[in-house]
């Protein structure tokens, strides 16, 4: 199983990664500690709010759902 990871910056820019199940714990840990200002959504759920305001969390959940991201092929490199 792969996981959809969306990192959202305060500027509104975002990064999408498809993360293998065996890497998801390390991926979350890295992002929470090394990119604390960036919000992180895994499979559409916010696991780190970063600089996003509370009201923006639900907006991003809806945006991510509408992206219809294919998670079949894992990203080569996670950031």
- Count of structural domains, the chain: 1
pLDDT at 64 over 70: yes
Whether the Cβ atoms of residue 62 and residue 74 lie closer than 8 Å to each other: no
Whether the Cβ atoms of residue 29 and residue 46 lie closer than 8 Å to each other: no
pLDDT average, residue stretch 42-63: 96
Q: Is residue 54 part of a domain?
A: no
Q: Is residue 63 part of a domain?
A: yes
pTM equals 0.93
Q: Is residue 65 part of a domain?
A: yes
Q: Is residue 31 part of a domain?
A: yes
Q: Is residue 53 part of a domain?
A: no
- In DSSP terms, 44 is beta-bridged to none
Q: Is residue 30 part of a domain?
A: yes
Distance CA 69, CA 34 (A): 25
Phi/psi of residue 40, each to 5°? Answer: -130, 125
pLDDT at 78 over 70: no
Q: Is residue 77 part of a domain?
A: yes
Whether the Cβ atoms of residue 46 and residue 61 lie closer than 8 Å to each other: yes
Residue ranges making up the domain that contains 29: 1-15+24-41+59-79
């Amino acid at each position: 199983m792969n996981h959809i990871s969306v990192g959202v910056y305060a500027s509104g820019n975002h990064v999408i990664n498809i993360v293998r199940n065996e890497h998801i714990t390390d991926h979350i840990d890295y992002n929470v500690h090394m990119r604390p200002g960036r919000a992180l959504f895994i499979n559409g759920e916010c696991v780190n709010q970063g600089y996003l305001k509370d009201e923006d969390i639900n907006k991003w959940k809806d945006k991510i759902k509408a992206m219809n991201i294919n998670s079949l092929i894992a990203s080569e490199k996670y950031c």
